[in-house]
Amino acid sequence: MRIFTSLEKSFPRGVNPFSNFVNLPQSCKMDPRFSKYMFLESTGSQENKFGWIEVICGSMFSGKTEELIRRLKRAQFAKQKVEIFKPSMDVRYNQDKVVSHDANEIMSTPVPAAANIPILADGCEVVGIDEAQFFDAEIVRVCNDLANKGVRVIVAGLDMDFKGNPFGPMPNLMATAEYVTKVHAICTRTGNLAQYSYRKSSNDDIVLLGEVDEYEPLCRAAFYKAMRQEAIKSNDMSNNNPAEFDPLTDE
């Protein structure tokens, strides 16, 4: 917060460096102090040649993959050497491409495990990883090793599973990343911001690839209500008091 306050005070009176970029004076747009925070591409250390990790997280249908593709295409446009990876199990749209829900796509390399990434990413300046929650815990070390070698690592994934619990290696990736962007979907029941991925099917497997037929994004209130209604209907409610049962904490 002190950085933001200091930066804001350094601009002309009445100019907010964190307002709409389009409305800023041209002198502010060109100021390196502003671009350092506006564009992540300019934050690397040229002297030490260290990279960094960016994590894009959120619920289903929140635009995680879309934002990942946007950042990677910017890097490609700048003629940087880019490589994109995804779990080999994710073949919902295309076997060899990362594809967002709105059909935005970019070529990728499917890999069965995180340990395959360092070899394939040799010589890259930017590495993108989609659906990181499906990788094993080794993905955390892989991302940090790449960043320590000067690579910009951009990771996208679900931060919570369908039960509302932290998903796979995502918490550790978020903890070790320099930049974390949490994007939100729109709740299909209330119209509020949604951060939960509610599973509509009865399948209880943690890993279940799906689309709108299996999942819908819900806000906190709608998710709690849906989970409570689901718990009341289940046989597990026979030994609990519905009025006191909390599906998010009780078992």
Is 131 in the active site? yes
Determine the length of the chain. 251
Q: Is the pLDDT of residue 192 over 70?
A: yes
Average pLDDT, the chain: 78
32-85 per-position pLDDT tens digit: 544 444 456 655 555 668 999 999 999 999 999 899 999 999 999 999 999 999
Residue 188 exposed, middle or buried by CB count within 10 Å (0-12, 13-18, 19+):
middle
Quickly list DSSP for 175-225. HH-SEEEEE-EE-TTTSSEE-EEEE-SS---S-----TTTEEEE-HHHHHH
- From 67, 131, 216, 230, the catalytic residue: 131
Give the predicted TM-score (pTM) of the model. Answer: 0.72
If one compares 50 and 239, the residue with the highest pLDDT of the two is 50
121-178 per-position pLDDT tens digit: 999 999 999 999 999 999 999 999 999 999 999 999 999 999 999 999 999 999 999 9
Give percent of the chain with pLDDT exceeding 90. 55
Domains detected in the chain: 1-38 (no CATH), 48-239 (3.40.50.300)
Cα 64 to chain center, whole Å? 5
